[in-house]
Amino acid sequence: MEVTPSILTADFCKLGETLDDAVAAGINWIHMDVMDGNWVVNKTITFGPALIKSVRERLGNDVFIDCHLMISNAEETWNQYVEAGVDMVIAHIEAVDDFPDLIRKIQSTGTQIGCVLNPDTPVSKVIPLLPELDLVLVMSVVPGKGGQSFMPQVEEKVRELRSAIDIQEESGGKTPILMIDGGIKHHNAAIVRDWGIDIAVVGSGLINETGSISQNLEEIQKALEGDQSTH
């Protein structure tokens, strides 16, 4: 299982240094959480295409960048994120009226597309889209709601998606990446790996004041290897 940092927990005055540290630690995928102050429950505003463009310019083309759009108008603004240089746009199934149309439009630009579902959204909403999707993201917290812990009850959802993706692959179809986001740290990374997750988004578990990104990533990797010792 790979790990990708969410930069929301970074000090934005030091964002360039944080990104450099992440790349130096061996990370090659950056997850960028976009909130518009409207769609998420706590009305948080984060950042938009301008910052993403700066991140792309800082990192060059060797690092994969996705943007997780927690916004109400993804169908109208997705092209701004493509123009900013993202490799993948991830949009919420709950916030898009015509997801098949969004898939077609985004993929026509050569950009990948992912679909994200909230903890209480049934997997059945996403299954019909699997043949065309590049990624499925399962939220293990409610987007934009502060002070939450990892929700283990999403296990059934993850396992159902893992099974559907594997069946699709065995029949010659696409193999969308399966991602999880929300409350992932070293103590539960191995749990979600065993559920069948390909990539885990980690925020404060990677970017914090207690250790460097390299040290925190090493702790997660040790946990994944079954070594619970700390550095």
Q: Is 98 designated active site?
A: no
Q: Is 21 designated active site?
A: no
Domain ranges of the chain: 2-224
* Residue labelled with tokens 């108008």: 73
What was the pLDDT predicted at 146?
A: 62
Task: Report whether 195 contacts 159 (CB < 8 A).
Answer: yes
Q: Please choose, from the candidates 52, 119, 118, 41, the residue with its C-alpha nearest in 3D space to the C-alpha of residue 79.
A: 52
What average pLDDT values come out for the chain (231 residues) when binned by 10 residues?
94 96 97 94 92 97 97 97 98 97 98 97 97 98 82 97 98 97 95 97 93 95 73 38
* Residue labelled with tokens 């929301």: 8
Helix ranges (DSSP H) in 85-151: 99-107
The domain 2-224: what is its CATH number?
3.20.20.70
What does the pLDDT look like over 141-172, one tens digit per residue?
999 776 679 999 999 999 999 999 999 999 99
Backbone angles phi, psi at 59, to 5 degrees: -90, -20
Between the alpha carbon of residue 121 and those of residues 95, 116, 124, the distances in Å are 12, 10, 8
Q: Catalytic residue among 21, 33, 66, 87, which?
A: 33
Rounded distance between C-alpha atoms, residue 176 and residue 169, angstroms: 9
- Across the chain, mean pLDDT equals 94
Q: Catalytic residue among 21, 98, 181, 194, which?
A: 181
